[in-house]
Structure 1
Amino acid sequence: MTLDGSAPDSGSPSGAVDALVTAPEAGATPVRRDAVEIRPGGVEGDRYRSGDGHFQLDGCAVTLVAAEALTAVREETGIDVTDGRHRRNVVVDGFGAEMDDLLDATVAVGGALLRPTRRRPPCARVEELAGEGGLSSALRNRGGLCCDVLEPGHVAVGDPVTVREADPRTAGAAIAERLADRSGANEGPNPENDGSKPEHH
């Protein structure tokens, strides 16, 4: 169900939780988890919810990154941070490396409801902690998304990830495109000028 009680569009993009990662404090080694509780303000047991994140003041409660992005980085550079050294909380699979469909949408991640509000570009700090030169450059434009928590909930590896409500700007453009296509299909050929007689001006 969407936030207004209606059923989500069956054509909405969907994927799954590929991995979950937390770090108890700034600079701590990230830990892969089988399941987490997403609470108001962040992930239970993570540095940002406890107020100990390196970029605490930027208001990023939960972070996502695409499994496709991590795979691409490994294939292109040989850098493998699937152990969690990317330092993002939720790795999602099924939305492409840049996760364009998720930005500004309402997204169900397991039992939680999130809204990705902006991109989370990689920084020198992540590269330093990972011990992988070139990681920031490799993750450019696919470093993940920063999310607000709309509804807390339990999230486990393998849980579905679905778009409940698309970004209004994207949804509006899609509706306009469908209406234009429908209008063009309904117009059909002009019976008054089917080529059998000349058109008079």
Structure 2
Amino acid sequence: MTPASDGRVEALYTAPSKGKPMVSHESVSVRDGGLVGDRYYRGSGYYSQTDGCQVTLVDDAVLSDAHREFGVDISEGRHRRNVVVRGIDPTDLLDATFQLGGATLRGTRLRPPCAYLAELVGDDEVVDALRERRGGICARVVSPGEVHVGDDIRVTEANPREVGRQIAARLGGTDADAGDETK
């Protein structure tokens, strides 16, 4: 099944500097390197030289689940992710190219929580709350543009492995058969 293309941008944040609260925005400029105003865009993030994570996305449902299941409040930017989405699981965007408002991005990898996040929110349980593919993803900017709260997220090029699984399923194979080159 192709990832749903009916997701939307729920919230936008930038981190001006280490340890400072994230700043909420109604719109942001996405440029090569990330979100204008974010410390990672400026190259001053702790992992800037090694990480390559230009834009981070997290699911709004995960933030609600973290509060309900673990009692951890990581709303309003305390999650330390740039884009909060609704209606689409960010992991469906891994290895896919997608429109995020007026910008085009490509999902590159999972973004697990770090010990620094636990320190900032003052609760070690945040790491457990965001474990198992729930911490969001990293994305690389393919083409710049403006993004606004409420903008749609539309997959323009699906993850090729997912497409292979769909074809295998239609041909009567199993998910395990897709990508297994020995068959």
Instruction: Please say whether Structure 1 and Structure 2 have the same fold, judged by a TM-score greater than 0.5.
Output: yes
Partner of 1:16 in structure 2?
8
Equivalence map 1:31-180=2 (5 Å): 31-56=23-48, 57-96=50-89, 99-141=90-132, 142-180=134-172
Could you give the per-residue CA deviations for residues 7-58 of structure 1, whole angstroms, max 9, x where no partner exists? xxx9843200011011112222111111101100010000000011121121
Q: RMSD of the alignment, in Å?
A: 1.8
Describe the shift of the 1:72–1:12 C-alpha distance in structure 2 as closer, same or farther (beyond 3 A): closer
CA–CA separation in structure 2 for the residues paired with 1:15 and 1:85: 22
Q: Where has structure 1 moved over 4 Å in runs of 4 or more?
A: none
Provide the rounded CA distance (Å) in 2 between the counterparts of 1:68 and 1:123: 20
Bigger mean CA deviation after superposition, 100-109 or 38-47: 100-109
Which amino acid is 2:43 matched to? G
Query: Residue 27 and residue 12 in structure 1: after superposition, are their counterparts in 2 closer, same or farther (change >3 A)?
Result: same
SS in 2 for 1:47: coil
Q: Which runs of 5+ in 1 are unaligned?
A: 1-9, 182-201
Corresponding residue number in structure 2 for 1:29: 21
Contact 1:12/1:164 (8 A) holds in 2: no
Q: Distance in 2 between matches of 1:11 and 1:40?
A: 25
- Identity of counterpart residues, as a percentage? 50
User: Could you list the runs of 5+ residues in structure 2 that have no partner in the other structure?
Assistant: 174-183
Q: Structure 2 CA distance, aligned partners of 1:35 and 1:100?
A: 23
| Corresponding position of 2:181 | none
Letter in 2 for 1:82: S
TM-score by length of 2: 0.87
Aligned length: 171
